[in-house]
């Protein structure tokens, strides 16, 4: 997860790996940090690092405990991942807010499965990642402007089913019969690849690097498993691959049917976007300049004042309706009122 952070690290066999990971989990637990080792494919014989996920709502506070817990160990921080060189073996601690813990745990499981599944989600109009299955809402007629990112579901098994995967099989892998019996669904990396390509929405065209944006190309080119998957799908015949998949609009409607709370959040976000757009039209800088006579920096200062004291509260008030309030009928008066107050406050500050 954290990449190769440290020099001169060692690889461990499966049983040594389990011993080290249990030691680390115990140290964390004794300090009220409850972690879980991210599941790997069961046939893996040796390990170059250990990924442990920790649900915690105060990452900065938790991070302060680590130098004491792992006294004398080299520690490296990168966003929400803290890497520790413990007995010459790299441990990556992944901190995640508790509400996303279960989804993130499953998303990171079994090598690069989450990333490969995410390509299918993306082409269906959704985002499958560490923070759940989400929908990135964009402004109509302006695809570059992201309005909101809305949670569809935080139930990873519902998400996998919605995305076309065999969620029953995935559930058996994530939650085996007991801790003493390793899952046998994903024994090797080929099992992971086969799981992905048996999705009815799978298309080879989703994956080639030339079809990705620059950031994704640079990232996935460095992923050994991703490059291996590209070779795998080029060498294998997939007779069930469909020439077309459901449109993003069809999948959005399907999501509304399957996740009613998501539809409510979606509609609420649309309402807020329309409200914000209307308010910005009513209180645009050109109009404010005409009413107040302000220009350039002085106009900018007053706009910041107006935003803070009127526009932002209006935007965040879900009960407001700019079509029926005084904002629609008398926003000239409102601008004049706040400008008068602004001038008074500035005058008093100078006295």
Q: What is the pLDDT of residues 4-28, one digit of tens each?
A: 889 889 999 999 999 999 999 999 9
Q: Looking only at Cα atoms, what is the longest distance across the chain?
A: 81
d(CA 346, CA 110): 61
Per-residue confidence at 134, pLDDT binned at 50, 70, 90?
A: very high
The pair of three-digit structure tokens given for residue 194, joined into one six-digit string = 């086969």
d(CA 207, CA 231): 11
pLDDT at 131 over 50: yes
d(CA 256, CA 234): 35
The pair of three-digit structure tokens given for residue 127, joined into one six-digit string = 């985002």
Mean pLDDT (the chain, rounded): 92
d(CA 257, CA 250): 11
* Least-confidence region, from 153-157, 180-184, 211-215: 180-184
d(CA 196, CA 169): 12
- Domain range annotation of the chain: 12-96, 109-258, 283-350
Please state whether 311 falls in left (phi above 0), alpha (psi between -120 and 50) or beta.
alpha
* Interacting residues of 161 by C-beta distance below 8 A, sequence separation 6+: 167
Cβ neighbours, 10 Å, residue 155: 17
Would you state the torsion angle of the CA atoms of residues 63, 68, 71, 72, taken in this order, to the nearest 10 degrees? 60
Q: Provide the total of helices (H) and of strands (E) in the chain, helices listed first.
A: 15, 10
Greatest mean pLDDT among 241-245, 263-267, 311-315 lies in: 263-267
pLDDT at 324 over 50: no
Fold of the domain spanning 12-96: Beta Polymerase; domain 2 (3.30.460)
Does pTM surpass 0.85? yes
Q: Of 117, 98, 106, whose CA–CA distance to 163 is shortest?
A: 117
d(CA 155, CA 172): 15
With contact defined as beta carbons under 8 Å apart, do 273 and 139 qualify?
yes
Q: What is the pLDDT of residues 68-95, one digit of tens each?
A: 999 999 999 999 999 999 999 999 999 9
d(CA 284, CA 254): 38
Please report, rounded to a whole number, the percentage of residues in the chain having pLDDT higher than 90: 74
d(CA 235, CA 240): 15
Cα of 26 vs its chain's centroid, Å: 29
State residue 229's pLDDT score: 97
């Amino acid at each position: 997860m954290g990449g190769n952070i440290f020099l001169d690290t060692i690889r461990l066999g499966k049983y040594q790996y389990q011993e080290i990971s249990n030691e680390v989990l115990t140290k964390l637990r004794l300090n009220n940090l409850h972690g879980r080792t991210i599941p790997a494919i069961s046939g893996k014989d040796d390990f170059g690092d250990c990924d442990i996920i920790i649900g915690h709502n105060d990452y900065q506070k938790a991070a302060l405990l680590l130098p004491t817990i792992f006294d004398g160990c080299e520690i490296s921080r990168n966003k929400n991942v803290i890497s520790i060189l413990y007995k010459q073996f790299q441990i990556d601690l992944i901190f995640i807010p508790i509400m996303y813990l279960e989804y993130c745990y499953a998303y990171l499981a079994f090598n690069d499965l989450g990333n490969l599944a995410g390509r299918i989600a993306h082409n269906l109009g959704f985002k499958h990642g560490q923070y759940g299955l989400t929908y990135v809402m964009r402004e109509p007629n302006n695809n570059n402007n992201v309005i909101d990112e809305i949670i569809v579901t935080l139930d990873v098994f519902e998400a996998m089913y919605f995305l076309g995967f065999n969620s029953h099989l995935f559930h058996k892998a994530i939650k085996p019969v007991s801790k003493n019996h390793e899952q046998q669904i994903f024994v090797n990396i080929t099992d992971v690849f086969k799981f992905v390509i048996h999705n009815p929405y799978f298309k080879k065209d989703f994956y080639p690097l030339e079809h990705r944006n620059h950031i994704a190309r640079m990232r996935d080119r460095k992923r050994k498993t991703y490059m291996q998957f590209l070779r795998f799908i080029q060498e294998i015949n997939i007779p069930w691959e469909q020439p077309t998949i459901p449109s993003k609009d069809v999948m959005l409607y399907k999501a509304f049917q399957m996740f009613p709370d998501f539809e409510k959040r979606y509609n609420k976000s649309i309402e807020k976007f329309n409200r914000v757009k209307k308010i910005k039209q009513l209180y645009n800088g050109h109009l404010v300049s005409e009413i107040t006579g302000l220009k350039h920096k002085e106009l900018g200062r007053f706009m910041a004042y107006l935003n803070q004291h009127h526009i932002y509260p209006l935007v965040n008030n879900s009960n407001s309706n700019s079509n029926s309030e005084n904002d629609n009928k008398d926003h000239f008066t409102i601008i004049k009122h706040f400008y008068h107050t602004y001038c008074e406050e500035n005058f008093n500050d100078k006295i």
